[in-house]
Amino acid sequence: MRNATLTTILPEERHGSALRPILFVSGLLVAGVIIWQAIATSGNSNPFLPSTNSTAAVLDIGVLVFREGLECVLVLAAITAGMTGRRRSSRHPIVIGAETGFIATLATWIVAVHVMDDIGQSISALALQAATGFLAVIVLLVVMNWFFHKVYWAGWISLHNRRRRDLVELADSQQISRLSLFWGMAMLGFTSLYREGFEVVLFLQSYRLRLGDEIVLWGVCIGIFLSGIVAVLTFVAHRRLPYRKMLILTGILLGIVLTVMVGEQTQEMQLAHWITTTRIPSLENLIPAWMGLWFSVFPTVESLLAQAAAVLLVLGSYIAANRASRHDPSAAEVRSETEENSIA
């Protein structure tokens, strides 16, 4: 029994160790781009001018889309785990539901673009950017799931697993028809993908209004490409991936994105005259121009206080969620499912 356990654990450990060099090289590339951009550009030293760093925006969008794609793959992996033998056919409606969710996400994007463009004809561009930026910050807080950890992530996976088990048990006892089972599984696949897609659509409206469709498209392509790699490794190569570690890593990256978004949002609200602007002359020479370009850190009281509050909120809620989950048996069960479930 012990040897069998070792044979199931060692491949995952070897695969996890193989991912470390890839993550390290990727981190070096990102750091290199940031350093090169900081040296090559003069930056955006005036906090009264909107930030126009397209490279930073592409990376922010790519991280967010990858994070959402990673969670979608994780949920789909959890609900399809164990579907082998005669139950393998139940995966087909889940795939159809996920494909429908992707199409619905594209349709939601088209509707959101038309709505935002129509609203933009009646209100000023600065006010619309400030409003959508505020919405993007709220969405990003929810996406990070630190504060709503049990409900958003652990509870979401448990909900899908319970629904899948109920459908399978009812089908085995012949209490529901094959058609009902098909639609039930399809809805699981649909909700797994569309929930993440809907959040991404809301978040990206702020970037689209400020930087245009091309920047958003590049960021989305990067995020989908990375998510596709994880999906192929999970569903095609049947690899056991360290999902929890990957979620923590992308969560840290999203924490940086949140800090940037809060700084940008504060700046846009200042430009729209929604809040006051109190400059700090003593910090104007201490904060380099590239800090404003890449991280939206400006020498104003409002922006610095807002970013400090965002950092404290993330750290505090993360610590609180971790302490609560350690004493919650259901959360421990979901963590076990997250690490151990794989596609058979």
| pLDDT single digits (tens) 279-310 | 999 888 888 877 887 788 889 999 999 999 98
Residue 296 lies in a domain: yes
CB contact at 8 A, 262 and 137: yes
Query: Is residue 247 assigned to a domain?
Result: yes
How many domains are contained in the chain? Answer: 1
Residues 302-338 have pLDDT tens digits of 999 999 998 888 888 777 767 766 666 555 555 555 5
pLDDT on residue 11: 44
Burial category of 238 from C-beta neighbours within 10 Å (exposed 0-12, middle 13-18, buried 19 and up): exposed
- State mean pLDDT over 98-123: 92
Using pLDDT thresholds of 50, 70 and 90, give the confidence band for residue 146.
Answer: low
Cβ-based burial of 16 (10 A; exposed 0-12, middle 13-18, buried ≥19): middle
Q: What is the pLDDT of residue 8?
A: 37
> Are 144 and 317 contacting, i.e. CB atoms less than 8 angstroms apart?
no
Confidence tier at 344 by pLDDT (50, 70, 90):
very low
| Environment class of 22 (CB within 10 Å of its CB; exposed 0-12, middle 13-18, buried 19+) | exposed
The reported pLDDT for the residue numbered 307 is: 93
What average pLDDT score do residues 90-108 get? 92
Counting every residue written for the chain, the total comes to 344
In a domain, 173, yes or no: yes
The average pLDDT across 44-62 equals 66
Domain that holds residue 273: 53-340
The pLDDT of residue 114 is 92
pLDDT band at 10 (very low <50, low <70, confident <90, very high): very low
Residue 331 has a pLDDT of 53
Full-model pTM: 0.73
Asked whether residue 203 carries a pLDDT value surpassing 70, the answer given is yes
- DSSP 3-state of 29: helix
Task: Identify whether 26 is part of a domain.
Answer: no
- CA nearest neighbour of 222 among 35, 29, 52: 29
Asked whether residue 22 is domain-assigned, the answer is no
In a domain, 57, yes or no: yes
Residue 300: phi and psi, rounded to 5, are: -130, 145
d(C-alpha 299, C-alpha 282), whole Å: 8
Answer whether residue 1 shows pLDDT above 50.
no
Distance of CA 43 to the CA centre of its chain: 27
Q: Is residue 164 part of a domain?
A: yes
Domain-embedded: residue 47: no
**pLDDT tens-digit readout, 234-248:** 888 877 778 777 877
Mean pLDDT of the chain: 77
Determine if residue 43 is left, alpha or beta; phi over 0 gives left, psi from -120 to 50 gives alpha, anything else beta.
left
Q: Report the pLDDT averaged over residues 250-279.
A: 86
